[in-house]
């Protein structure tokens, strides 16, 4: 490995990249891929820009895994954490509390869908999903329906990677290996608007595909505790966007059958779909809702499981009745994370974040449609809020996918990196999920680089 002299004049025997690979097992990766694409060691960041240790810039158009809501090193969020860190860094959250958590719960109560009034704090998205599943299960036991033990979910759904969350996830990529150790859930065929089996389109259908949910409910509702869905956007499945009508039908069916509706807004929450929450766009309220990712603007790990009064009440009793929700994580309600989340809410209240994002989203849709959709291998541009994705296909007419072994999407991702763009692929879908305050100029740069990368992999 190369020898380098660092700032203090000491000899660095090996590069940071090599030292990384000597000890670090990165997430969501085949480590062998790092032979061809070593880890990019980031030194610092500002706004949408990441700067690596060699001075190369990357435009981060995916909000560093969908969480960096207002750009890197946002001064308002940074200052809020700095102010909190010298006051109270952490305290046990059982029997103890602190002002940042109380203010945050009040702030959340003011913006979440109607009916959600109680907030259970955890420290990552999967943990919030686990809490929601356990709450739903226990709720039915404590309200006289202990036969409701099962969960329903949508095909290609993603809710995290712990054992419970994987059990209600349908993506083979994450779950297949572990099926034997997962609980059995009822998987309902999800809307697939790009390859609609009914020959309809996203904005001109009556959600004919909802028949799969109706069938599953007819067969299994009585034994089902809850259904969990990613509202309006199946993110990890490849930014699959589906109509609000589907959610409205689902809310109605849940009401009729007593199945609880869990909205996993971990990816969609905090303005990602154009509204504060996807459920708001559909004008429905879930019984339980999970949030994380954008909650702290991507600064610190935190999540919240939001519940209705009705669910909360089912747990409220003398200790001896054994109805408490005994579920805890050490870092639940961490004050630094709460301070960051409060700063996020302050930014939403004092800056025109959502109106500006709406203008830029519209602009981006047009630009992407003009620049990328004509390409013979771009099958569709799909979008919701500022999230925009394009799906690569081998045959535009038949929508025939590429052979997955070719890893066409991954190749575009790699080429984009060479061009200084952090774009990411899920299979052959490439997406933008930028900070909500990204500018049109930055979006334009991202689009130019994405197009260049695409043309290198698939010349038009």
Ligand X SMILES: *Cc1c(COP(=O)(O)O)cnc(C)c1O
List contacts with ligand X (CB under 6 A).
124-126, 129, 158-160, 230, 235, 264, 266-267, 292-293
Closest approach, Cβ 325 to ligand X, in A, equals: 20
Closest approach, Cβ 338 to ligand X, in A, equals: 17
Residue closer to ligand X by CB (options 289, 364) is 289
Closest approach, Cβ 240 to ligand X, in A, equals: 12
Closest approach, Cβ 276 to ligand X, in A, equals: 16
Closest approach, Cβ 160 to ligand X, in A, equals: 3
Closest approach, Cβ 23 to ligand X, in A, equals: 22
Residue closer to ligand X by CB (options 292, 437) is 292
Q: Which residue is nearest to ligand X (CB)?
A: 125
Neighbours of 338 (CB within 10 A): 27
Give 3-state DSSP helix, strand, coil % of the chain, rounded to 5: 40, 20, 40
Residue closer to ligand X by CB (options 192, 456) is 192
d(CA 51, CA 59): 9
Closest approach, Cβ 339 to ligand X, in A, equals: 19
Kindly provide the residue ranges of all beta strands, DSSP E only, lying in 316-405, ordered along the sequence.
378-384, 387-392
Kindly provide the residue ranges of all beta strands, DSSP E only, lying in 224-348, ordered along the sequence.
224-229, 233-234, 240-241, 260-264, 288-291, 303-308
d(CA 149, CA 91): 35
Closest CA to 432 of 371, 386, 365: 386
Give the total residue count for the chain. 460
Closest approach, Cβ 134 to ligand X, in A, equals: 15
Residue closer to ligand X by CB (options 305, 308) is 305
d(CA 360, CA 221): 42
Residue closer to ligand X by CB (options 159, 251) is 159
- Complete edge-to-edge strand list for the sheet that includes strand 378-384: 378-384, 387-392, 429-432, 424-426
d(CA 382, CA 201): 12
Residue closer to ligand X by CB (options 387, 454) is 387
Its sign, for the CA torsion 247, 248, 250, 251, is positive
Half-sphere exposure for 444 (CA within 13 Å, toward CB): 4
Cβ-based burial of 367 (10 A; exposed 0-12, middle 13-18, buried ≥19): middle
Residue closer to ligand X by CB (options 24, 218) is 24
Residue closer to ligand X by CB (options 67, 408) is 67
């Amino acid at each position: 490995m190369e020898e380098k002299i660092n700032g203090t004049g000491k000899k660095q025997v090996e590069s940071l990249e090599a030292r990384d690979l000597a000890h670090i097992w990165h997430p969501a990766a085949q480590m062998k891929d790092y032979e061809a694409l070593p880890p990019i060691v980031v030194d610092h960041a500002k706004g949408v820009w990441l700067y690596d240790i060699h001075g190369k810039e990357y435009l981060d158009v995916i909000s560093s895994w969908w969480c960096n809501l207002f750009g890197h090193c946002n001064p308002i969020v940074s200052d809020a954490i700095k102010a909190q860190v010298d006051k109270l860094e952490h305290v046990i959250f059982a029997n103890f509390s602190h002002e940042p958590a109380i203010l945050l719960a009040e702030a959340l109560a003011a913006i979440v869908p109607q009916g959600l009034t109680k907030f259970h704090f955890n420290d990552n998205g999967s943990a919030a999903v686990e809490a929601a599943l356990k709450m739903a299960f226990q709720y039915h036991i404590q309200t006289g329906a202990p036969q409701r033990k099962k969960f329903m979910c949508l095909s290609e759904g993603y809710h995290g990677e712990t054992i419970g969350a994987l059990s209600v996830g349908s993506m083979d990529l994450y779950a297949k290996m572990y099926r034997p150790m997962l609980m059995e859930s009822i998987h309902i065929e999800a809307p697939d608007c790009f390859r609609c089996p009914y020959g309809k389109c996203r904005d001109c259908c009556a959600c004919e595909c909802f028949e799969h949910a109706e069938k599953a409910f007819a067969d299994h509702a009585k034994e089902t505790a809850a259904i969990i869905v990613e509202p309006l956007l199946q993110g990890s499945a490849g930014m699959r966007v589906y109509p609000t009508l589907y959610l409205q039908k689902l809310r109605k069916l849940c009401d009729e059958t007593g199945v609880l509706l869990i909205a996993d807004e971990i990816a969609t929450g905090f303005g990602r779909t154009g509204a504060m929450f996807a459920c708001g766009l559909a004008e429905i309220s879930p019984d339980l809702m999970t949030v994380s990712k954008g909650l702290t603007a991507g600064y610190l790990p935190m999540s919240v499981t939001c519940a209705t009064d009705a669910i909360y009440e089912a747990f409220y009793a003398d200790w001896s009745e054994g109805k408490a929700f005994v579920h805890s994580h050490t870092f639940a309600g961490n004050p630094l994370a709460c301070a960051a989340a409060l700063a996020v809410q302050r930014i939403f209240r004092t800056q025109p974040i959502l109106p500006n994002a709406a203008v830029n989203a519209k602009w981006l849709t047009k630009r992407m449609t003009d620049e990328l959709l004509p390409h013979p291998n771009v099958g569709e541009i799909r979008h919701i809020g500022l999230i925009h994705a394009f799906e690569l296909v081998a045959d535009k007419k038949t929508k025939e996918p590429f052979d997955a072994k070719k890893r066409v999407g991954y190749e575009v991702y790699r080429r984009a990196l060479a061009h200084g763009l952090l774009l990411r692929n899920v299979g052959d879908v490439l997406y933008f999920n930028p900070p909500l305050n990204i500018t049109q100029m930055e979006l334009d740069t991202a689009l130019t680089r994405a197009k260049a990368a695409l043309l290198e992999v698939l010349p038009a």
